[in-house]
Amino acid sequence: MGRLCDFCSEERSLVYCRSDSACLCLSCDRNVHSANTLSKRHSRTLLCEQCHCQPAVERCIEENLSFCHNCNWAVHSSSPVEEEHHRQTISCYSGCPSSAEFSKIWAFFS
C-alpha cells in the first residue's frame, strides 16, 4: 500500500513536501498548503513509489513508477535493458492545484 499520510494517518501518501519534510495524501496536501500564503509557496512533488519516503525525481515509462534518485539508480543500473528504459523528469508544483491542473502537471498520473 505504501506509506500513510503524515497528517491524517488514514490515506496513502502521494506527495512529498520538502519544507515540511512530510508525505501527504492529496486531500491533506490541499488542506495544509491552502492555510496561508507562505505554505502555498511550498514546493511539492510525487513520492517515490519504491521506498515511499523520498521525493520522486523521475518517472520510468516502462515500469509506470516514480523513483527518487537512489531508487532510480538502484533499479536502472542493474542491467543494460533497464538502463535503456525511457524516463521522464517529474515537475514540482506549489499552490493548490485542481484535479485538472494535476493532470496537466503529471500527465502520466491517474
Residue 108 confidence (pLDDT) above 70: no
Query: For residues 46 and 15, is the Cβ–Cβ distance under 8 A?
Result: yes
**Domain assignment present for 9:** no
The pLDDT of 32-48, averaged and rounded, is 93
**Domain assignment present for 64:** yes
Cα–Cα distance for residue pair 78/10, rounded to 1 Å: 35
Q: Which domain holds residue 44?
A: 15-105
Q: What is the pTM of this model?
A: 0.79
What strand order describes the sheet that includes 22-24? 22-24, 15-17, 44-46
The pLDDT of 66-88, averaged and rounded, is 84
**Domain assignment present for 93:** yes
Chain-wide mean pLDDT for the chain?
87
Q: What is the band of 78 on the pLDDT scale with cuts at 50, 70, 90?
A: confident
**Domain assignment present for 110:** no
Q: 74: domain CATH number? A: 4.10.830
**Domain assignment present for 84:** yes
